[in-house]
């Protein structure tokens, strides 16, 4: 097919007009605030998960058998403590996993006065994965941790058993996981035992069928995180997730816009259906509203979580590449910002 110069340029300007007219995120990228000030050791952080005990914040992150750091404030100073499971997990996903297995995307919760950290064991890029849980009465690094191993989630070629997230609503323990393949799924944990799967069949809740730029594979959506809040008397259930490529070498970056970013869908029920701000389904319509993307020195933010701080303010925390520091896996930084839900959608604020 050949274009005349005129029809081609008309086509391009029509396409540009369409892009300009389509609202893609709740806040213009130019006005995303920088991460809040944060001191101490914020390096080598992937997929952080935070919880507060007394006056101390605890931060769990991916790799090296799950890393634990703590701080007197979200602003730091953060001090690295130790690995959560120095001996590794009792889950075996491969015969010789010592060399190449990662412990991925921890998710920490206080349940009936015991701290639970859900974690994944996986070999990079394969579906030989599983999700387990370790518990501690105190959160301290060292021998306080008991590894319970696998939750018993079913294996499937539709998903990968990584990136766990628990969301408790009343008596129900909603449980999200997934990455690549058909992206993100939701099931429940046992009502009596939060270390076990309930047996409820996992349902697909987020899937992007778009073939990503320069690849013959669909777009990655992973790192689901559920959150609920009430706006003007109405309770909304949010599903935050990370979309795009998380960790590229500086000389092999994802095409612009295909790098990691934080998306959200919203529903009236904890089980969905989740839709974006334009009303597009996150499951069948490639929906998702952009909450945070690359801006300024922040590149490829994701692996996010959301919490409410002591002052009652919602906080989004995440890992990102600080382009002034470096793009290497070990260079990834911890960051956070405040969120304003007053419009019914999460908007970064200062």
* Site residues (vs ligand NAG, CB under 6 A): 41, 43-45, 61, 67, 80, 208, 210, 212, 219, 221, 243, 257-258, 263, 286-288
CB neighbour list of residue 35: distance below 8 Å, 6 or more residues apart: 298, 320, 333, 335, 336, 337
Minimum distance from residue 243 beta carbon to ligand NAG (Å): 3
Minimum distance from residue 94 beta carbon to ligand NAG (Å): 24
Backbone angles phi, psi at 299, to 5 degrees: -125, 135
User: How far is the C-alpha of 276 from the C-alpha of 12, rounded, in Å?
Assistant: 27
Query: Which residue's Cβ has the minimum distance to ligand NAG?
Result: 288
Nearer to ligand NAG, 41 or 172 (CB): 41
CB 244 within 8 A of CB 253: no
**Candidates 47, 130, 163, 259; catalytic one:** 47
**Candidates 183, 222, 259, 322; catalytic one:** 222
Kindly tell me the burial class for residue 323, based on how many C-beta atoms sit within 10 Å of its own C-beta (0-12, 13-18, 19 or more): middle
Helix H segments across the chain? 5-21
Minimum distance from residue 206 beta carbon to ligand NAG (Å): 8
Minimum distance from residue 113 beta carbon to ligand NAG (Å): 28
Specify whether 276 is catalytic: no
Nearer to ligand NAG, 153 or 292 (CB): 292
Nearer to ligand NAG, 44 or 71 (CB): 44
Minimum distance from residue 82 beta carbon to ligand NAG (Å): 10
How close are the terminal C-alpha atoms of the chain, in Å? Answer: 51
Nearer to ligand NAG, 153 or 162 (CB): 162
CB 350 within 8 A of CB 340: no
**In the structure encoding, which two tokens stand for residue 57, read together?**
């914040």
Specify whether 47 is catalytic: yes
Picking from 195, 201, 283, 206, the residue whose alpha carbon sits closest to that of residue 240 is 206
The catalytic residue positions are 47, 222
């Amino acid at each position: 097919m050949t274009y005349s110069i005129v029809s081609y340029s008309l086509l391009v300007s029509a396409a540009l007009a369409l892009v300009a007219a389509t609202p893609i995120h709740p806040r213009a990228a130019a006005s995303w605030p920088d991460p809040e000030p944060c001191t101490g050791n914020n390096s080598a952080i992937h997929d952080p998960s935070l919880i507060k005990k007394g006056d101390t914040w605890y931060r769990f992150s991916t790799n090296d058998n799950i890393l634990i750091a703590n701080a007197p404030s979200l602003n730091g100073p953060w001090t690295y403590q130790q690995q959560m499971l120095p001996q590794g997990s009792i889950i075996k996903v491969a015969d010789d996993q010592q060399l190449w297995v990662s412990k991925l995307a921890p998710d920490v919760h206080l349940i009936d006065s015991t701290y639970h950290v859900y974690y994944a064991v996986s070999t990079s890029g394969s579906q030989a994965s599983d999700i387990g849980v370790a518990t501690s009465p105190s959160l301290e690094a060292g021998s306080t941790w008991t590894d319970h191993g696998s939750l018993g989630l079913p294996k499937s070629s539709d998903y990968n058993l990584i990136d766990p997230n628990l969301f408790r609503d009343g008596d129900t323990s909603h449980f999200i996981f997934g990455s690549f393949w058909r992206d993100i799924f939701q099931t429940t944990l046992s009502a009596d035992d939060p270390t076990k799967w309930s047996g409820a069949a996992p349902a697909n809740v987020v899937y992007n069928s778009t073939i990503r730029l320069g690849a013959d594979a669909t777009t990655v959506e992973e790192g689901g995180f559920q959150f609920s809040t009430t706006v003007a008397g109405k309770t909304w259930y949010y599903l935050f997730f990370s979309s795009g490529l998380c960790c590229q070498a500086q000389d092999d970056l994802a095409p612009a816009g295909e790098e990691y970013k934080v998306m959200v869908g919203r529903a009236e029920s904890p089980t969905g259906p989740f839709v974006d701000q334009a009303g597009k389904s996150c499951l069948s319509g490639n929906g998702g509203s952009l909450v945070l993307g690359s801006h300024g020195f922040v590149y490829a933010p994701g692996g996010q979580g959301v919490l409410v701080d002591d002052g009652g303010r919602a906080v989004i925390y995440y890992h990102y590449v600080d382009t002034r520091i470096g793009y290497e896996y070990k260079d990834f930084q911890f960051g956070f910002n405040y969120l304003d839900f007053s419009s019914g959608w999460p908007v970064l604020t200062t």
